Structure 1
Amino acid sequence: MLDWNPALYRRYEDERTRPAQELLARVPHPGPARVVDLGCGPGNSTELLVARYPGARVTGIDNSEAMLQSARERLPGVDFAWGDIAQWVPDVAPDLIYANAALQWVAGHETLIPRLFESLAPGGVLAVQMPDNRQEPTHRLMREVAAQAPWREPIGDADRLRTELLGIQGYYDLLAPRAARVDVWHTIYQHTMDSAGAIVEWVRGTGLKPFVDPLPQGLRDSYLAEYERRIDQAYAVRADGKRLLAFPRMFIVAQRHP
Protein backbone atom coordinates (compact mmCIF):
# COMPACT_ATOMS: atom_id res chain seq x y z
CA MET A 1 0.00 0.00 0.00
CA LEU A 2 1.25 3.50 -0.83
CA ASP A 3 2.02 5.93 1.99
CA TRP A 4 -0.83 7.87 3.57
CA ASN A 5 -1.82 11.32 2.33
CA PRO A 6 -2.03 13.71 5.32
CA ALA A 7 -3.64 16.51 3.29
CA LEU A 8 -6.44 14.20 2.10
CA TYR A 9 -6.92 12.81 5.61
CA ARG A 10 -7.17 16.31 7.11
CA ARG A 11 -9.91 17.55 4.75
CA TYR A 12 -12.41 16.15 7.26
CA GLU A 13 -10.27 16.70 10.34
CA ASP A 14 -13.04 18.15 12.51
CA GLU A 15 -15.22 15.09 11.91
CA ARG A 16 -12.31 12.70 12.46
CA THR A 17 -11.23 14.47 15.65
CA ARG A 18 -14.64 14.43 17.31
CA PRO A 19 -14.46 10.73 18.33
CA ALA A 20 -10.88 11.30 19.49
CA GLN A 21 -12.16 14.00 21.83
CA GLU A 22 -14.96 11.79 23.12
CA LEU A 23 -12.57 8.90 23.73
CA LEU A 24 -10.18 11.14 25.68
CA ALA A 25 -13.03 12.55 27.77
CA ARG A 26 -13.66 9.07 29.22
CA VAL A 27 -10.05 8.33 30.20
CA PRO A 28 -10.10 8.03 34.02
CA HIS A 29 -6.39 8.58 34.73
CA PRO A 30 -5.98 11.95 36.53
CA GLY A 31 -2.40 12.68 35.51
CA PRO A 32 -0.40 10.26 33.41
CA ALA A 33 3.33 10.94 33.24
CA ARG A 34 3.94 8.95 30.04
CA VAL A 35 1.42 8.98 27.20
CA VAL A 36 1.67 7.19 23.85
CA ASP A 37 -0.51 8.12 20.88
CA LEU A 38 -0.41 4.85 18.97
CA GLY A 39 -1.16 5.43 15.29
CA CYS A 40 -0.94 9.20 15.73
CA GLY A 41 -1.50 10.11 12.06
CA PRO A 42 -0.98 13.83 11.34
CA GLY A 43 -1.04 14.71 15.05
CA ASN A 44 -4.65 15.85 15.48
CA SER A 45 -5.20 13.35 18.29
CA THR A 46 -1.73 14.01 19.77
CA GLU A 47 -2.65 17.68 20.04
CA LEU A 48 -5.60 16.75 22.25
CA LEU A 49 -3.35 14.68 24.53
CA VAL A 50 -0.79 17.48 24.87
CA ALA A 51 -3.53 19.96 25.77
CA ARG A 52 -5.12 17.71 28.38
CA TYR A 53 -1.86 16.51 29.97
CA PRO A 54 0.59 19.44 29.70
CA GLY A 55 2.98 17.88 32.22
CA ALA A 56 3.16 14.49 30.51
CA ARG A 57 5.78 13.18 28.14
CA VAL A 58 3.70 12.50 25.03
CA THR A 59 5.04 10.34 22.19
CA GLY A 60 3.36 9.77 18.84
CA ILE A 61 3.92 6.49 16.99
CA ASP A 62 3.01 5.82 13.36
CA ASN A 63 4.23 3.70 10.45
CA SER A 64 3.72 6.44 7.85
CA GLU A 65 6.63 8.80 7.27
CA ALA A 66 4.29 11.28 5.58
CA MET A 67 1.97 11.33 8.60
CA LEU A 68 4.91 11.66 11.00
CA GLN A 69 6.30 14.60 9.03
CA SER A 70 2.91 16.32 9.13
CA ALA A 71 2.66 15.67 12.88
CA ARG A 72 6.17 17.07 13.54
CA GLU A 73 5.31 20.24 11.64
CA ARG A 74 2.14 20.60 13.66
CA LEU A 75 3.68 19.87 17.08
CA PRO A 76 7.43 20.56 16.87
CA GLY A 77 7.92 20.10 20.62
CA VAL A 78 6.52 16.56 20.72
CA ASP A 79 8.43 13.32 20.15
CA PHE A 80 7.24 11.37 17.11
CA ALA A 81 8.74 8.05 16.07
CA TRP A 82 8.21 5.40 13.43
CA GLY A 83 6.71 2.18 14.73
CA ASP A 84 4.66 -0.81 13.59
CA ILE A 85 1.81 -1.38 16.04
CA ALA A 86 1.88 -5.13 15.38
CA GLN A 87 5.39 -5.35 16.90
CA TRP A 88 5.56 -2.18 19.01
CA VAL A 89 6.74 -2.56 22.60
CA PRO A 90 7.30 0.50 24.83
CA ASP A 91 10.75 1.13 26.32
CA VAL A 92 9.11 2.31 29.56
CA ALA A 93 5.61 1.30 30.65
CA PRO A 94 3.18 4.11 29.70
CA ASP A 95 0.42 5.40 31.93
CA LEU A 96 -1.83 5.86 28.90
CA ILE A 97 -1.84 4.11 25.53
CA TYR A 98 -4.27 5.99 23.33
CA ALA A 99 -5.14 4.49 19.93
CA ASN A 100 -7.67 6.48 17.92
CA ALA A 101 -8.77 4.92 14.60
CA ALA A 102 -5.59 2.86 14.25
CA LEU A 103 -6.00 -0.70 15.53
CA GLN A 104 -8.54 -1.66 12.86
CA TRP A 105 -5.55 -1.87 10.48
CA VAL A 106 -3.74 -4.42 12.67
CA ALA A 107 -4.59 -8.13 12.67
CA GLY A 108 -4.73 -10.50 15.62
CA HIS A 109 -6.69 -8.53 18.19
CA GLU A 110 -7.00 -11.59 20.44
CA THR A 111 -3.29 -11.20 21.24
CA LEU A 112 -2.72 -7.53 20.32
CA ILE A 113 -5.18 -6.04 22.81
CA PRO A 114 -3.97 -8.04 25.85
CA ARG A 115 -0.33 -7.32 24.91
CA LEU A 116 -0.93 -3.57 24.78
CA PHE A 117 -2.92 -3.65 28.00
CA GLU A 118 -0.28 -5.63 29.87
CA SER A 119 2.45 -3.22 28.75
CA LEU A 120 0.85 -0.43 30.80
CA ALA A 121 2.17 0.81 34.13
CA PRO A 122 0.08 -0.08 37.22
CA GLY A 123 -3.11 1.96 37.11
CA GLY A 124 -2.49 2.70 33.43
CA VAL A 125 -5.21 3.04 30.82
CA LEU A 126 -5.69 1.62 27.33
CA ALA A 127 -8.07 3.83 25.32
CA VAL A 128 -9.13 2.62 21.87
CA GLN A 129 -11.51 3.91 19.22
CA MET A 130 -12.10 1.99 15.99
CA PRO A 131 -14.44 2.51 13.04
CA ASP A 132 -17.04 -0.26 13.04
CA ASN A 133 -18.33 0.40 9.54
CA ARG A 134 -17.38 -2.77 7.66
CA GLN A 135 -21.06 -3.49 6.90
CA GLU A 136 -21.98 0.10 6.03
CA PRO A 137 -22.66 0.84 2.32
CA THR A 138 -19.35 2.73 2.01
CA HIS A 139 -17.32 -0.37 2.86
CA ARG A 140 -19.64 -3.07 1.56
CA LEU A 141 -19.63 -1.39 -1.87
CA MET A 142 -15.81 -1.16 -1.84
CA ARG A 143 -15.68 -4.94 -1.64
CA GLU A 144 -18.48 -5.51 -4.14
CA VAL A 145 -16.82 -3.40 -6.83
CA ALA A 146 -13.40 -4.90 -6.05
CA ALA A 147 -14.79 -8.39 -6.60
CA GLN A 148 -15.68 -7.60 -10.22
CA ALA A 149 -13.60 -7.53 -13.40
CA PRO A 150 -11.46 -5.70 -14.37
CA TRP A 151 -10.53 -4.67 -10.81
CA ARG A 152 -10.65 -8.10 -9.12
CA GLU A 153 -7.23 -9.36 -10.19
CA PRO A 154 -5.05 -6.34 -9.28
CA ILE A 155 -6.86 -5.75 -5.97
CA GLY A 156 -6.94 -9.40 -4.90
CA ASP A 157 -8.97 -10.70 -1.97
CA ALA A 158 -10.88 -7.66 -0.74
CA ASP A 159 -11.87 -9.34 2.54
CA ARG A 160 -8.24 -9.38 3.72
CA LEU A 161 -7.92 -5.58 3.51
CA ARG A 162 -9.56 -4.84 6.85
CA THR A 163 -9.30 -6.55 10.23
CA GLU A 164 -12.51 -8.20 11.42
CA LEU A 165 -13.35 -6.65 14.80
CA LEU A 166 -14.28 -8.81 17.79
CA GLY A 167 -17.37 -6.81 18.75
CA ILE A 168 -18.11 -4.91 21.95
CA GLN A 169 -18.74 -8.07 23.95
CA GLY A 170 -15.60 -9.71 22.60
CA TYR A 171 -13.34 -6.86 23.69
CA TYR A 172 -15.05 -6.64 27.06
CA ASP A 173 -14.54 -10.35 27.69
CA LEU A 174 -10.91 -10.07 26.59
CA LEU A 175 -10.13 -7.24 29.02
CA ALA A 176 -12.50 -7.65 31.98
CA PRO A 177 -10.60 -10.52 33.68
CA ARG A 178 -7.38 -8.45 33.51
CA ALA A 179 -8.68 -4.97 34.31
CA ALA A 180 -9.79 -2.95 37.30
CA ARG A 181 -12.48 -1.40 35.11
CA VAL A 182 -13.63 -1.63 31.50
CA ASP A 183 -15.84 0.91 29.73
CA VAL A 184 -17.16 0.02 26.26
CA TRP A 185 -19.65 1.85 24.07
CA HIS A 186 -20.76 2.28 20.49
CA THR A 187 -21.70 5.51 18.71
CA ILE A 188 -23.14 6.06 15.23
CA TYR A 189 -22.20 9.53 13.96
CA GLN A 190 -24.26 11.14 11.21
CA HIS A 191 -21.94 13.29 9.11
CA THR A 192 -23.51 15.81 6.75
CA MET A 193 -21.88 15.48 3.32
CA ASP A 194 -22.37 17.72 0.30
CA SER A 195 -22.58 14.96 -2.31
CA ALA A 196 -21.81 11.37 -3.20
CA GLY A 197 -18.42 12.62 -4.40
CA ALA A 198 -17.73 14.07 -0.95
CA ILE A 199 -18.41 10.67 0.62
CA VAL A 200 -15.94 9.08 -1.79
CA GLU A 201 -13.37 11.76 -0.95
CA TRP A 202 -13.84 11.03 2.78
CA VAL A 203 -13.16 7.30 2.44
CA ARG A 204 -10.31 7.82 -0.04
CA GLY A 205 -8.32 9.17 2.91
CA THR A 206 -8.75 5.92 4.87
CA GLY A 207 -10.76 2.79 4.07
CA LEU A 208 -10.71 3.06 0.28
CA LYS A 209 -6.94 3.42 0.13
CA PRO A 210 -6.01 -0.31 0.05
CA PHE A 211 -8.47 -0.83 -2.81
CA VAL A 212 -7.28 1.93 -5.13
CA ASP A 213 -3.54 1.90 -4.38
CA PRO A 214 -2.82 -1.34 -6.31
CA LEU A 215 -4.63 -0.11 -9.43
CA PRO A 216 -2.97 1.55 -12.42
CA GLN A 217 -4.39 4.99 -13.23
CA GLY A 218 -6.93 3.86 -15.81
CA LEU A 219 -8.40 1.13 -13.61
CA ARG A 220 -8.28 3.44 -10.60
CA ASP A 221 -10.39 6.02 -12.43
CA SER A 222 -12.93 3.44 -13.57
CA TYR A 223 -13.10 1.81 -10.12
CA LEU A 224 -13.77 5.18 -8.46
CA ALA A 225 -16.39 6.08 -11.06
CA GLU A 226 -18.29 2.83 -10.50
CA TYR A 227 -17.90 3.10 -6.74
CA GLU A 228 -19.23 6.68 -6.73
CA ARG A 229 -22.17 5.63 -8.90
CA ARG A 230 -23.15 3.04 -6.31
CA ILE A 231 -22.56 5.43 -3.41
CA ASP A 232 -24.89 7.90 -5.12
CA GLN A 233 -27.62 5.24 -5.12
CA ALA A 234 -26.95 4.10 -1.54
CA TYR A 235 -27.06 7.50 0.18
CA ALA A 236 -30.28 9.37 -0.48
CA VAL A 237 -30.42 13.13 -0.96
CA ARG A 238 -31.92 14.75 2.13
CA ALA A 239 -34.32 17.71 2.30
CA ASP A 240 -31.48 20.24 2.10
CA GLY A 241 -29.77 18.54 -0.86
CA LYS A 242 -27.06 16.92 1.26
CA ARG A 243 -26.37 13.30 2.23
CA LEU A 244 -26.05 11.76 5.70
CA LEU A 245 -23.06 9.47 6.15
CA ALA A 246 -23.70 7.06 9.02
CA PHE A 247 -20.39 6.21 10.67
CA PRO A 248 -20.43 3.67 13.54
CA ARG A 249 -17.46 3.71 15.92
CA MET A 250 -16.51 1.44 18.81
CA PHE A 251 -14.87 2.74 22.02
CA ILE A 252 -12.94 0.78 24.65
CA VAL A 253 -11.35 2.18 27.82
CA ALA A 254 -9.71 -0.27 30.21
CA GLN A 255 -7.67 0.51 33.35
CA ARG A 256 -5.13 -1.73 35.03
CA HIS A 257 -5.18 -2.43 38.74
CA PRO A 258 -2.91 -0.03 40.71
Structure 2
Amino acid sequence: MHSDIAPAVRPHSLDGSAPVWDPQQYLRHAGHRTRPFLDLLNRIPELPTGPARIADLGCGPGNVTALLTERWPDARITGFDLSPQMLQRATDEHAGPTPGGGRLDFRHADLADWMPEETYDLIVSNAALQWVPSHPGSFAAWINGLRPGGTFAFQIPGNFTAPSHRLLAELCDTPRWRDRLAGHGARYIHILEPAEYLARFTELGCAVDVWETTYSQLLQGADPVLDWVKGTALRPVLTALGDDREAVDRFLAEYREALRAAYPPGPRGTVFPFRRIFAVAHKEA
Protein backbone atom coordinates (compact mmCIF):
# COMPACT_ATOMS: atom_id res chain seq x y z
CA MET A 1 0.00 0.00 0.00
CA HIS A 2 1.27 3.48 -0.76
CA SER A 3 2.28 5.52 2.25
CA ASP A 4 0.17 8.48 1.11
CA ILE A 5 -3.18 6.69 1.53
CA ALA A 6 -5.49 9.06 3.34
CA PRO A 7 -7.65 8.07 6.28
CA ALA A 8 -11.13 6.53 5.31
CA VAL A 9 -14.61 6.16 7.53
CA ARG A 10 -14.19 9.48 9.41
CA PRO A 11 -15.33 9.10 13.03
CA HIS A 12 -14.34 12.67 13.79
CA SER A 13 -13.28 13.70 17.23
CA LEU A 14 -14.88 16.90 18.43
CA ASP A 15 -11.71 18.79 17.54
CA GLY A 16 -12.02 17.62 13.93
CA SER A 17 -9.35 14.94 14.08
CA ALA A 18 -9.98 11.31 13.25
CA PRO A 19 -9.37 8.71 15.95
CA VAL A 20 -6.28 6.58 15.64
CA TRP A 21 -7.31 2.97 15.08
CA ASP A 22 -5.55 -0.15 16.34
CA PRO A 23 -6.31 -3.11 14.05
CA GLN A 24 -4.77 -5.61 16.45
CA GLN A 25 -6.97 -4.42 19.33
CA TYR A 26 -10.04 -4.46 17.10
CA LEU A 27 -9.35 -8.02 15.97
CA ARG A 28 -9.01 -9.34 19.53
CA HIS A 29 -12.78 -9.97 19.44
CA ALA A 30 -12.96 -10.88 15.75
CA GLY A 31 -15.27 -13.86 16.29
CA HIS A 32 -18.00 -11.88 18.02
CA ARG A 33 -17.55 -8.92 15.64
CA THR A 34 -17.82 -11.15 12.56
CA ARG A 35 -20.97 -13.03 13.53
CA PRO A 36 -23.43 -10.19 12.73
CA PHE A 37 -21.90 -9.81 9.28
CA LEU A 38 -22.38 -13.50 8.59
CA ASP A 39 -26.02 -13.16 9.65
CA LEU A 40 -26.37 -10.18 7.30
CA LEU A 41 -24.67 -12.03 4.47
CA ASN A 42 -27.14 -14.90 4.75
CA ARG A 43 -30.03 -12.52 3.99
CA ILE A 44 -28.52 -10.89 0.90
CA PRO A 45 -30.23 -12.21 -2.27
CA GLU A 46 -28.45 -13.29 -5.42
CA LEU A 47 -26.84 -10.43 -7.28
CA PRO A 48 -27.99 -9.29 -10.74
CA THR A 49 -24.78 -9.77 -12.71
CA GLY A 50 -21.67 -11.87 -12.62
CA PRO A 51 -18.88 -11.41 -12.02
CA ALA A 52 -20.36 -9.07 -9.43
CA ARG A 53 -19.00 -5.62 -8.56
CA ILE A 54 -19.10 -5.08 -4.78
CA ALA A 55 -18.22 -2.17 -2.46
CA ASP A 56 -17.62 -2.65 1.27
CA LEU A 57 -18.02 0.67 3.10
CA GLY A 58 -15.88 0.85 6.22
CA CYS A 59 -13.86 -2.28 5.57
CA GLY A 60 -11.61 -1.96 8.63
CA PRO A 61 -8.79 -4.54 8.67
CA GLY A 62 -10.33 -6.43 5.75
CA ASN A 63 -11.10 -9.71 7.49
CA VAL A 64 -14.85 -9.31 6.93
CA THR A 65 -14.41 -8.01 3.38
CA ALA A 66 -12.54 -11.21 2.58
CA LEU A 67 -15.63 -13.22 3.55
CA LEU A 68 -17.42 -11.75 0.54
CA THR A 69 -15.07 -13.71 -1.71
CA GLU A 70 -16.45 -16.96 -0.32
CA ARG A 71 -20.00 -16.06 -1.39
CA TRP A 72 -18.95 -14.43 -4.69
CA PRO A 73 -15.57 -15.97 -5.57
CA ASP A 74 -15.29 -14.30 -9.00
CA ALA A 75 -16.39 -10.84 -7.86
CA ARG A 76 -14.35 -7.67 -8.03
CA ILE A 77 -14.53 -6.27 -4.51
CA THR A 78 -13.27 -2.95 -3.14
CA GLY A 79 -13.13 -2.14 0.55
CA PHE A 80 -13.22 1.55 1.50
CA ASP A 81 -12.01 2.97 4.80
CA LEU A 82 -10.58 6.15 6.31
CA SER A 83 -8.00 4.73 8.71
CA PRO A 84 -4.49 4.30 7.29
CA GLN A 85 -3.81 1.71 9.99
CA MET A 86 -6.81 -0.37 8.98
CA LEU A 87 -6.08 -0.02 5.26
CA GLN A 88 -2.49 -1.11 5.75
CA ARG A 89 -3.59 -4.25 7.60
CA ALA A 90 -6.29 -5.01 5.02
CA THR A 91 -3.96 -4.55 2.06
CA ASP A 92 -1.12 -6.55 3.57
CA GLU A 93 -3.30 -9.51 4.51
CA HIS A 94 -6.13 -9.66 1.98
CA ALA A 95 -5.56 -7.64 -1.22
CA GLY A 96 -4.97 -9.32 -4.55
CA PRO A 97 -6.51 -11.95 -6.81
CA THR A 98 -8.95 -14.40 -5.26
CA PRO A 99 -8.97 -18.17 -5.83
CA GLY A 100 -12.22 -17.89 -7.79
CA GLY A 101 -10.80 -15.48 -10.35
CA GLY A 102 -11.98 -12.27 -8.70
CA ARG A 103 -9.99 -9.48 -7.12
CA LEU A 104 -9.98 -7.77 -3.74
CA ASP A 105 -8.54 -4.28 -3.25
CA PHE A 106 -8.77 -1.47 -0.73
CA ARG A 107 -9.03 2.31 -1.14
CA HIS A 108 -9.27 5.32 1.09
CA ALA A 109 -12.64 7.08 1.36
CA ASP A 110 -14.56 9.17 3.83
CA LEU A 111 -18.06 7.70 4.04
CA ALA A 112 -19.41 11.10 4.99
CA ASP A 113 -19.08 12.08 1.32
CA TRP A 114 -18.46 8.80 -0.53
CA MET A 115 -20.50 8.47 -3.71
CA PRO A 116 -20.44 5.56 -6.19
CA GLU A 117 -18.18 6.34 -9.13
CA GLU A 118 -19.38 3.24 -10.95
CA THR A 119 -22.36 0.88 -10.83
CA TYR A 120 -22.39 -1.84 -8.17
CA ASP A 121 -24.30 -5.07 -7.73
CA LEU A 122 -23.87 -4.88 -3.96
CA ILE A 123 -22.94 -2.12 -1.54
CA VAL A 124 -22.46 -3.49 1.95
CA SER A 125 -21.35 -2.02 5.27
CA ASN A 126 -20.49 -3.79 8.50
CA ALA A 127 -20.47 -1.84 11.80
CA ALA A 128 -19.27 1.40 10.21
CA LEU A 129 -22.16 3.76 9.56
CA GLN A 130 -22.51 4.63 13.26
CA TRP A 131 -19.42 6.80 12.72
CA VAL A 132 -21.17 8.76 9.96
CA PRO A 133 -23.92 11.05 11.31
CA SER A 134 -25.07 11.91 7.78
CA HIS A 135 -25.43 8.31 6.59
CA PRO A 136 -29.25 8.25 6.16
CA GLY A 137 -28.92 11.21 3.81
CA SER A 138 -26.68 9.16 1.50
CA PHE A 139 -29.10 6.29 1.00
CA ALA A 140 -30.70 7.71 -2.14
CA ALA A 141 -27.34 8.20 -3.87
CA TRP A 142 -26.10 4.77 -2.81
CA ILE A 143 -29.27 3.05 -4.05
CA ASN A 144 -28.95 5.03 -7.28
CA GLY A 145 -25.44 3.62 -7.63
CA LEU A 146 -26.77 0.04 -7.76
CA ARG A 147 -27.61 -1.90 -10.88
CA PRO A 148 -31.31 -2.79 -11.26
CA GLY A 149 -31.81 -5.77 -8.96
CA GLY A 150 -28.82 -4.78 -6.82
CA THR A 151 -28.70 -4.65 -3.03
CA PHE A 152 -27.56 -2.28 -0.31
CA ALA A 153 -27.09 -4.06 3.02
CA PHE A 154 -25.67 -3.00 6.36
CA GLN A 155 -25.55 -3.83 10.03
CA ILE A 156 -24.95 -1.20 12.65
CA PRO A 157 -24.58 -1.33 16.44
CA GLY A 158 -27.73 -0.34 18.28
CA ASN A 159 -26.37 -0.56 21.83
CA PHE A 160 -25.60 3.08 22.47
CA THR A 161 -27.87 3.29 25.53
CA ALA A 162 -26.21 0.20 27.05
CA PRO A 163 -24.14 0.64 30.24
CA SER A 164 -20.87 0.38 28.31
CA HIS A 165 -21.68 3.52 26.32
CA ARG A 166 -23.80 5.35 28.91
CA LEU A 167 -21.04 5.08 31.52
CA LEU A 168 -18.47 6.31 29.01
CA ALA A 169 -20.58 9.36 28.18
CA GLU A 170 -21.17 10.11 31.85
CA LEU A 171 -17.48 9.83 32.70
CA CYS A 172 -16.47 12.11 29.83
CA ASP A 173 -18.88 14.74 31.17
CA THR A 174 -17.68 14.68 34.80
CA PRO A 175 -15.89 17.78 36.13
CA ARG A 176 -12.53 16.00 36.03
CA TRP A 177 -12.77 15.26 32.30
CA ARG A 178 -15.31 17.69 30.89
CA ASP A 179 -12.84 20.23 29.51
CA ARG A 180 -11.00 17.62 27.47
CA LEU A 181 -13.67 15.04 26.70
CA ALA A 182 -17.19 16.46 26.99
CA GLY A 183 -19.36 14.96 24.28
CA HIS A 184 -16.92 12.27 23.21
CA GLY A 185 -18.99 9.50 24.75
CA ALA A 186 -22.38 10.66 23.42
CA ARG A 187 -21.90 10.51 19.67
CA TYR A 188 -24.62 8.26 18.35
CA ILE A 189 -27.97 10.01 18.56
CA HIS A 190 -28.11 9.87 14.74
CA ILE A 191 -28.63 6.09 14.77
CA LEU A 192 -32.19 5.41 13.60
CA GLU A 193 -34.55 2.78 14.94
CA PRO A 194 -35.33 -0.21 12.70
CA ALA A 195 -38.75 1.15 11.69
CA GLU A 196 -37.16 4.42 10.62
CA TYR A 197 -34.64 2.63 8.40
CA LEU A 198 -37.51 0.61 6.95
CA ALA A 199 -39.40 3.80 6.12
CA ARG A 200 -36.35 5.39 4.46
CA PHE A 201 -35.85 2.48 2.08
CA THR A 202 -39.51 1.96 1.24
CA GLU A 203 -39.69 5.66 0.33
CA LEU A 204 -36.84 4.97 -2.12
CA GLY A 205 -38.87 2.22 -3.77
CA CYS A 206 -36.87 -0.71 -2.40
CA ALA A 207 -38.04 -4.06 -1.16
CA VAL A 208 -36.51 -4.03 2.29
CA ASP A 209 -35.88 -6.41 5.17
CA VAL A 210 -35.02 -4.76 8.49
CA TRP A 211 -34.54 -6.50 11.83
CA GLU A 212 -32.62 -6.35 15.07
CA THR A 213 -30.82 -8.92 17.18
CA THR A 214 -29.31 -8.74 20.64
CA TYR A 215 -26.33 -11.06 20.96
CA SER A 216 -25.64 -12.23 24.49
CA GLN A 217 -21.89 -12.49 24.12
CA LEU A 218 -19.78 -14.36 26.66
CA LEU A 219 -16.43 -12.59 26.88
CA GLN A 220 -13.34 -14.06 28.49
CA GLY A 221 -10.41 -12.61 30.37
CA ALA A 222 -9.88 -9.78 32.82
CA ASP A 223 -12.02 -6.69 32.19
CA PRO A 224 -13.23 -8.00 28.82
CA VAL A 225 -15.80 -5.24 28.21
CA LEU A 226 -13.08 -2.63 28.61
CA ASP A 227 -10.93 -4.65 26.22
CA TRP A 228 -13.82 -4.68 23.73
CA VAL A 229 -14.47 -0.94 23.79
CA LYS A 230 -10.76 -0.18 23.50
CA GLY A 231 -11.14 -1.35 19.90
CA THR A 232 -14.17 0.82 19.08
CA ALA A 233 -16.00 3.33 21.29
CA LEU A 234 -12.91 4.33 23.27
CA ARG A 235 -10.84 5.24 20.21
CA PRO A 236 -12.00 8.90 20.05
CA VAL A 237 -11.35 9.31 23.79
CA LEU A 238 -7.88 7.78 23.62
CA THR A 239 -7.08 9.92 20.58
CA ALA A 240 -8.20 13.06 22.41
CA LEU A 241 -6.00 12.23 25.41
CA GLY A 242 -3.10 11.60 23.06
CA ASP A 243 0.31 10.99 24.60
CA ASP A 244 -0.76 12.06 28.10
CA ARG A 245 -0.10 8.63 29.61
CA GLU A 246 -1.05 9.71 33.10
CA ALA A 247 -4.44 10.97 31.93
CA VAL A 248 -5.04 7.81 29.86
CA ASP A 249 -4.24 5.57 32.83
CA ARG A 250 -6.42 7.58 35.18
CA PHE A 251 -9.37 7.64 32.76
CA LEU A 252 -9.13 3.91 32.08
CA ALA A 253 -8.96 3.14 35.79
CA GLU A 254 -12.18 5.07 36.47
CA TYR A 255 -13.95 3.56 33.47
CA ARG A 256 -12.74 0.06 34.38
CA GLU A 257 -14.29 0.26 37.84
CA ALA A 258 -17.63 1.41 36.43
CA LEU A 259 -17.65 -1.41 33.87
CA ARG A 260 -16.80 -4.02 36.49
CA ALA A 261 -19.89 -3.03 38.46
CA ALA A 262 -22.11 -2.98 35.35
CA TYR A 263 -20.79 -6.25 33.88
CA PRO A 264 -19.74 -8.51 36.77
CA PRO A 265 -17.84 -11.64 35.74
CA GLY A 266 -19.53 -15.01 36.08
CA PRO A 267 -18.04 -18.46 36.56
CA ARG A 268 -17.60 -18.96 32.79
CA GLY A 269 -17.00 -15.42 31.62
CA THR A 270 -18.65 -11.99 31.42
CA VAL A 271 -21.98 -11.60 29.64
CA PHE A 272 -21.97 -8.59 27.31
CA PRO A 273 -25.33 -8.07 25.54
CA PHE A 274 -24.93 -6.31 22.22
CA ARG A 275 -27.83 -5.08 20.09
CA ARG A 276 -27.39 -4.83 16.32
CA ILE A 277 -29.67 -3.35 13.63
CA PHE A 278 -29.75 -4.88 10.14
CA ALA A 279 -31.14 -3.69 6.81
CA VAL A 280 -31.18 -5.29 3.36
CA ALA A 281 -32.62 -3.00 0.66
CA HIS A 282 -33.22 -4.57 -2.76
CA LYS A 283 -33.47 -2.25 -5.75
CA GLU A 284 -36.23 -3.05 -8.22
CA ALA A 285 -34.97 -4.88 -11.30
- Fold match by TM threshold 0.5: yes
SS class of match (1:186): strand
Residue 23 (structure 1) aligned with residue 40 (structure 2): yes
CA contact under 8 A between 1:179 and 1:254: conserved in structure 2? no
Which residue in 1 is equivalent to 2:68?
49
Out of 1, 10, 28, the position equivalent to 1:11 is 28
State the Cα distance separating 1:35 from its structure 2 match: 0.3
Give the whole-Å Cα distance in 1 for the aligned partners of 2:47 and 2:143.
18
Give the whole-Å Cα distance in 2 for the aligned partners of 1:244 and 1:203.
14
Q: In the comparison of the two structures, how many residue pairs are matched? A: 257
Identity percentage over the alignment? 38
SS class of match (2:200): helix
Out of 37, 49, 61, the position equivalent to 2:80 is 61
Q: Residues 112-131 of structure 1: matches in 2 within 5 Å?
A: 112-131=138-157
Which residue in 2 is equivalent to 1:193?
219
Moved more, 246-255 or 192-201: 192-201
Which residue in 1 is equivalent to 2:6?
none
Residue 166 (structure 1) aligned with residue 192 (structure 2): yes
State the Cα distance separating 1:110 from its structure 2 match: 3.5
State the Cα distance separating 1:26 from its structure 2 match: 0.5
Change (3 A) 1:67 1:117: same
State the Cα distance separating 1:31 from its structure 2 match: 5.7
Give the whole-Å Cα distance in 2 for the aligned partners of 1:114 and 1:236.
44
Residue 150 (structure 1) aligned with residue 169 (structure 2): no
Residue 255 (structure 1) aligned with residue 282 (structure 2): yes
Q: Deviations over 1:60-108 (max 9, x none)?
A: 1000111111111111312110001111112211110010000000012
Change (3 A) 1:22 1:81: same
Moved more, 139-148 or 118-127: 118-127
CA contact under 8 A between 1:193 and 1:244: conserved in structure 2? yes
Question: What stretches of structure 1 move > 4 A for 4+ residues in a row?
Answer: none
Which residue in 2 is equivalent to 1:232?
260
Moved more, 46-55 or 152-161: 152-161
Question: What root-mean-square deviation, in Å, do the aligned CA atoms of Structure 1 and Structure 2 show?
Answer: 1.5
State the Cα distance separating 1:121 from its structure 2 match: 1.6
Residue 57 of structure 1 aligns to which amino acid in structure 2?
R
TM-score of the two chains, using structure 2 as the length reference: 0.86
SS class of match (2:251): helix
Give the whole-Å Cα distance in 2 for the aligned partners of 1:191 and 1:3.
26
TM-score of the two chains, using structure 1 as the length reference: 0.94
